Each structure stands twice: as structure tokens, then as C-alpha cells.
Chains A and B, each alone.
Chain A
Amino acid sequence: MKKITIIFRRAPHGTAQGREALDLALLSASFEQEVSLIFMDEGVLNLLPKQKPEQAGAKDYIATFGALSLYDIDTVLVCSDSLAQFGLSEAELTIALTIADTQTISDHIQLADEVLVF
């Protein structure tokens, strides 16, 4: 088992990055890896509610974030600076997660065996 950290850095729907990052996260977890997620930069926009991806011709993978705990993905960090940049507060986010400052994120990355950035 390895500690795999997947970082979401891109806004959803404009590219397939977020969707394919989530696919990898769930698959890794189902292969018994210890998976954690970090949302930062435009990646925090994945966490907003009421998205209508079909209108952009994209699959609604956003709803699947709700299933993370079923896959035992319990460590989900979101960058506080990135939230502030987009004027977002924790109350607006769709899933339970931990607001983390850059030092906490840096410390977490240090503990990971592998870090994959999308």
C-alpha cells in the first residue's frame, strides 16, 4: 500500500483533468491504496454546488465527490488561500473537508509516497 496524494488544480469542465483525477482517485482507493485529495488553485471550483456540467457537454462527475467516504478517502484538504482568491467560504462547499493553509498542505505532501497533479 502506498500513500497517494492527488492534487486538483484545474477548474472543472473546461478540461477533463478533474474528471480523470477523480477516476484515478477512486480506482486507487479501490486497489487498497491510502488516497488523499488536495484542492487548490482553480481546483477548488470542483467543490461548488449546483453545477450543471451537461450544459457544457461534460459528464457530471461532481456528484461523485459525495462518494469519497464510501471509498475510504477520508483526507480531503482544500487550500485556504485558494478559497480566499475565489471569495469562497467553507459553507459553500459540497463535501466535508479540511481547510488547510499552505504549510499544512506542504507537510501533507511530504508524507505522501507519490503525488499526482491534475
Chain B
Amino acid sequence: MSKFIIQVNGAAYASSASYNAYLFAKSALEMGHEIIRIFFYQDGVYNTNTFNSPASDEYDITQAWRSLATEYDLQLVNCVSAALRRGIISETEANESQLSHWNMQAPFIMGGLGELVTGIEKADRVVSF
């Protein structure tokens, strides 16, 4: 069995990157591999937008990540600086910036690039999408 860290760089719906990342993660977990965390970087942070509202007959990638996290107790970490510069903010940052709205919430959390690097250090393999 292997330990993976998965980096998601592609925006939700703009490319197939995030869906492929999700399928890879799900398959790896089902096969008994360990995923240290999913790290959202670059446009990948758009996966974590609570306001993503696809049509009812479309795949809901944000909900898919949420369900996977609940089922496998998976860490879903946004790179906070990549997220902030793309308008993805949590309640904490909204309060700090005196904004009345936020669009990221649990199980997604904010973290630093360090969490990607420490993940890479512990993992057998990093897989980027």
C-alpha cells in the first residue's frame, strides 16, 4: 500500500483535472491506499467554492469532495494565498477583511504551501492534476 498526496491545480468545470483527481483519489482509497491530504493549488482552489451551483443534472464536484472527505476522514486543504487571490475565502478571512460573505467552509480548510511540502515529504508519491 502507498501513501499519496494529491495536488489539484485545475479549476472546477474549466477542465477535467479536478474530476480526474477525484476519481483517482476515490479509487486509491477504495483500494486501501492512504491519502495524506488533497491539496488545492492554483485554479484548483475553485473546487472549494461553496457557491458552486451546477445544474441538477450535472456532476457536483464540490459535493463529491465533501462526501469523500466525510467517508474517509480526508483532509481537504486550500493553499490560502492561491485561494485569497482568487476570491475564495473562509469565514475567518471574511471577518478579518470585514466582508459580509464567505464561500469556503468545512470540510475544506485553509492551509499553507508548507502543508503540500510536508505532505510530499511524508508521501510515497505526489500526484498532480
**Chain A residues at the B interface, C-beta cutoff of 8 Å:** 1-2, 4, 16-17, 20, 23-24, 27-28, 31, 33, 114, 116-117
Contact = CB atoms under 8 A, between A and B. Distances in A.
Nearest to B43: A16
B41 interface: yes
B42 A4 contact: no
A114 B42 contact: no
Given A2-B121, A24-B113, A27-B112, 20 more contacts: A4-B120, A17-B42, A20-B41, A20-B42, A20-B82, A23-B81, A24-B41, A24-B116, A24-B117, A27-B114, A28-B117, A31-B117, A31-B118, A33-B117, A33-B120, A114-B120, A114-B125, A114-B126, A116-B7, A116-B128
A23 B41 CA distance: 11
A23 B113 contact: yes
A20 B45 CA distance: 13
Interface of B: 7, 41-42, 81-82, 112-114, 116-118, 120-121, 125-126, 128
Contacts, number: 37
Contacts of B121: 1-2, 31, 33
Contacts of A2: 120-121
B117 A27 contact: yes
Contacts of B118: 31
A4 B7 CA distance: 14
A24 B121 CA distance: 14
Contacts of A24: 41, 113, 116-117
Nearest to B128: A116
A96 to B, nearest CB: 25
15 contacts: A17-B42, A20-B41, A20-B42, A23-B81, A24-B117, A28-B113, A31-B114, A31-B117, A33-B117, A33-B121, A114-B120, A114-B125, A116-B7, A116-B126, A117-B128
